[in-house]
Structure 1
Amino acid sequence: MSHAGKDIKFSLKVMVNKKKGKVLFAEVDSSFADVLLSFLTLPLGTIVRILKKHYGDDAPAFGSLSTLYNGLANLDSDHFWTEGAKSILLHPRSSSDAECKKLGLDISDSPPFEYFVCSKECYKLRLRSISMFYDITGKCNSCKGNLIKEVVDNNDAQIVACEDGVFTKTTVSFLITDDLHIMPNAGLSQIVSVLGITDMDEAETILITFGFPNVMDLLKASLTSPTPLSDLIFKKTTKMSSTKRIYEDGTSSISNSKTMNLKLMVQKSTNKLLYAEAEEDFVEFLFSFLIIPLGGVVSLLSRNSNLKPIDSLYKSAADLIHDKYFKNPDAKNRLIKPSIPHGYLSENHILPLTKECLLLAPYNIFSCGWRSSTRFPNGQGSYLKGPRTYKIADDLTVTPFCIISILSGLKDQKIPVSDVKEVMLQIGLKEALSILKASLTSTTALSDALLSQVVKEPSKREV
């Protein structure tokens, strides 16, 4: 984002109990509520990247997603069909990017927009690129010049803060709880019935100024603490409770026949997962986590992501904020039913994700054609070349399979080959959702999602 955008400040009235070091609630305007709700539009890979960019070496670990992202970044480019394919995974775009650039403060640091413009610079034709694997061919309708792709910086003068709100209407003020429930400021009854606050004897109001660093701190705290506002204002650290169990969801009943093979290498004497082996289809599935917006993740996991503040934000958008307070129905849907940009989903995706429709009508009037993009020269398909085998660590770090490296690792850990067993699993939708959920909070995502069921189910084939 621009330096000017980073200078934006928000004023919050916060009701606190200083003796307990606790935020009771905060009163904010719609512009700050929009920034907070925009967290739901951030792809998981974007969150990892902007936290790393802002905090540097002090960036917090975001479950197993940080190591998944770093493993992807360290893979040689010859594993991918093109450099552009790898770049999309490292710099995923949100389908709400255009709207978020109108926020009072946009933290997404998204890639520049791309437009198709006339090569003769008549500028009478300027169309946004809305597909990652198609380019437009044809001529400018005005001067018949060829159409070329132009990258437009995010600081383009045409991108300005939206005066009538981005997600919510500007006439509304909101209350925010410590765990990031957001609701319209509609009266005293909310204090008792919704917030559960009946005793205000020890409560007092303080004024807080929130700028770019504070919003980044709030994003970080919302991923690591059940009480992010209290942590920020009282400068304390509260850890999210962790659960070491099988991650199961009600969504497992969704019909999806696609499955992938995964080979788990487990130490016999301890039942500890050592690593997993998989081909490019499973690795692409893991990399697909990085393109999913937070709101889409909570939706996939039936509003139970184990990230309590993020679940609260989602519930707020879905239930607590009435439709009349949103700018329009599309604004609400972008938060609770976000789609994936056109061209991002590979042929190996397994999760029930919705992709943006490719609207051809605006281009047809200019008699434009299509050609395969330089990012995906073969059209929509795969990110990774194959066939190829990969090693996947418990924290989802992906590396090329190398038997010499694996044997050396076992030797360093003093684990004899005779103490290693091979367990074959079929990964379907239920297992896929379990791995996704575990990846949000755990640095042992594969063990937490899969290993317990392997131990309980001796029918799985062991070698």
Structure 2
Amino acid sequence: MVHKKEQRVIFAEADSNFVDTLFSIMTLPLATIVRLLRKVPDEKLKPIGSLNNLYQSLLDLSTNCLSSEENKWLMLNPKTSSHDTCRKLKLNINDEEPTEYYICEAIDCSRRKGVRFSTCNLARCIYCGKMMNKRIKYEDTTVVDNGCSSVFASDLTSFMVTDDLRVTSNSPGSMVQLLCELGIPAVNFLDEMTFDVGLDQILNLLKGAMLFKNPLTYMVFPSSPSILDLVKPGKEILLKHLTAETSKSLTLTVTAQKSSSKCLFADANSDFVEFLFGFLEIPLGYMIGELMNGSSSFESLNNLYSSISSMATGEYIKSFDLKNMLLHPELMHTKLSEKQIFPLSVFRDSNYNYCHTYLECGIFSAYMTHSSRLKGHEKEMLCSCYLKDSRVDGRYLKESAKFMVTDDLVITPLSLLSSITMLRFGNLGCFVEVFLNFYRFHSEENYCN
């Protein structure tokens, strides 16, 4: 329903498939959101500007700075436990491929007790050092069904979605209440409009949620004069104290301009940079609900999270487990860095499985499952199978690596030439305008595996 004169969406009557897609946004790690929004670039996307720089810095990072070859791919592609579930959505905003699993190509290594698997084919076997590039199937994965059945929201209910992404059950009472809140005196000011939604429209909706308080209007009327309320990224938010009691210090050497106290760049060790890269793996739902207590700068996304939280299971959301998957998304197939200060949750079952190896026409074959039941293949052997830990001493980056970090989180390996370049960009008349300061701040250390 739209106000055509003002080119403004009042609300949308949506089926469970559209609501599913909206809800699934909460499961996306920040790295995935940045990658998706890079497909619809916009200079106004200041709220994620630093995250985009962080993502690009990791993308450009030399493998010489990594403790293992596969670590860049793993940090750029974090997954939550809902990844394969969301592939059943009729419209899935996350265009990543299904999770793939790899073991060592050597049959002797793959038949050892405690064989390792990885979700990246750049990993190396811990036993022989060869590439783990033998792709195997995970037999327990649910078959993807892109039919009409919804995934999260109840099939038996239609929903009302407001311009600021509040989602409620579709009822005349809810509609009347909304019209009163918006000061619309009569329905003759409104017109019905049918709007087809595809992946491009959902990406624009996500972009609108990062920019405006009325993302539905932005999706339907991208040039509407009603789109005025920019999200204010400078809003101060008190993070909930969710970290462990033990504290760790991170040290920075900051180069700043004396006259303005403007930070030019900082010299940082790998501890601080790995801490920064850790923001990319935080799921959106965890950030809004757990870290910011539902009060992030993105008001429409706060509304979406709150709508999920207030919906009854069984009646509007199919099950408690699915609701929990949206509100408290867990990471999957990962080992948290020791520098990750937030107590992110990892779906533990995803790091332990069984590897079944067998011969098929004399050729080595294998599959992975969460069950120890054998299928009766020729010379089939069962071994416990664990996620390969790509960290070295709990780190994704080499301990000896040094970096330069700019004020907007552009990260490059530390060098004299890059420092001179930054001083030149600072438009400094002379070096006496520069001063050094040593900053030490405390971060809380979380428990990790």
Using structure 2 for the length normalisation, give the TM-score: 0.78
Residue equivalent to 2:383: 368
Question: 1:265 touches 1:421 (CA, 8 Å); kept in 2?
Answer: yes
C-alpha spacing 1:322/1:116, structure 2 compared with 1 (3 Å) = same
Q: Provide the C-alpha distance between the structure 1 equivalents of 2:135 and 2:99, rounded to a whole number of angstroms.
A: 8
After superposition, give the CA deviation of every residue in 1:160-206 in whole Å (9 maximum; x if it has no partner): 22654211111111110101111111x22212445625623312211
2:79 is paired with a residue of what secondary structure?
coil
Q: Provide the C-alpha distance between the structure 2 equivalents of 1:104 and 1:250, rounded to a whole number of angstroms.
A: 35
Match for 1:271 among 261, 267, 291?
261
1:85 maps onto 2:76 in alignment: no
Residue equivalent to 1:189: 173
The AA in structure 1 aligned to 2:255 is M
The AA in structure 2 aligned to 1:424 is F
Residue equivalent to 2:417: 404
1:357 maps onto 2:342 in alignment: no
Residue equivalent to 1:228: 215
Q: Provide the C-alpha distance between the structure 2 equivalents of 1:66 and 1:243, rounded to a whole number of angstroms.
A: 14
Matches within 5 A, 1:156-305: 158-161=143-146, 164-185=149-170, 187-193=171-177, 196-197=181-182, 199=185, 200-236=187-223, 237-238=227-228, 240-242=230-232, 244=234, 247-252=236-241, 254-256=243-245, 257-299=247-289, 300-305=291-296
C-alpha spacing 1:135/1:82, structure 2 compared with 1 (3 Å) = closer
C-alpha spacing 1:95/1:263, structure 2 compared with 1 (3 Å) = farther
After superposition, give the CA deviation of every residue in 1:205-235 in whole Å (9 maximum; x if it has no partner): 1111111211111111111111111122222
C-alpha spacing 1:304/1:58, structure 2 compared with 1 (3 Å) = closer
2:436 is paired with a residue of what secondary structure?
strand
Residue equivalent to 1:422: 436
Question: 1:134 touches 1:370 (CA, 8 Å); kept in 2?
Answer: no
CA deviation after TM superposition for structure 1 residue 363, in Å: 5.4
The AA in structure 2 aligned to 1:345 is L
Matches within 5 A, 1:275-354: 275-299=265-289, 300-319=291-310, 321-324=311-314, 325-354=316-345
Matched positions, count:
396
After superposition, give the CA deviation of every residue in 1:275-309 in whole Å (9 maximum; x if it has no partner): 22221111111111111111111121111220112
Q: Provide the C-alpha distance between the structure 2 equivalents of 1:112 and 1:152, rounded to a whole number of angstroms.
A: 11
Question: 1:264 touches 1:425 (CA, 8 Å); kept in 2?
Answer: yes
1:73 is paired with a residue of what secondary structure?
helix
Q: Provide the C-alpha distance between the structure 2 equivalents of 1:152 and 1:253, rounded to a whole number of angstroms.
A: 37
Q: Provide the C-alpha distance between the structure 2 equivalents of 1:134 and 1:84, rounded to a whole number of angstroms.
A: 5
RMSD between aligned alpha carbons?
3.6
C-alpha spacing 1:422/1:109, structure 2 compared with 1 (3 Å) = same
Unaligned runs of 5+ in 1: 1-14, 122-127, 138-146, 433-463
Unaligned runs of 5+ in 2: 108-115, 127-131, 354-369, 374-380
Question: 1:136 touches 1:368 (CA, 8 Å); kept in 2?
Answer: no
Q: Provide the C-alpha distance between the structure 2 equivalents of 1:110 and 1:151, rounded to a whole number of angstroms.
A: 18
1:190 is paired with a residue of what secondary structure?
helix
Question: 1:113 touches 1:152 (CA, 8 Å); kept in 2?
Answer: no
1:38 maps onto 2:24 in alignment: yes
C-alpha spacing 1:244/1:298, structure 2 compared with 1 (3 Å) = closer
CA deviation after TM superposition for structure 1 residue 85, in Å: 0.7
**More deviation in 416-425 or 31-40?**
416-425
C-alpha spacing 1:309/1:57, structure 2 compared with 1 (3 Å) = closer
C-alpha spacing 1:194/1:18, structure 2 compared with 1 (3 Å) = closer
After superposition, give the CA deviation of every residue in 1:26-51 in whole Å (9 maximum; x if it has no partner): 00000110001111111111122123
The AA in structure 2 aligned to 1:385 is K
Residue equivalent to 2:89: 103
CA deviation after TM superposition for structure 1 residue 86, in Å: 0.3
2:339 is paired with a residue of what secondary structure?
coil
The AA in structure 2 aligned to 1:168 is A
Structure having the larger proportion of residues in helix: 1
Using structure 1 for the length normalisation, give the TM-score: 0.75
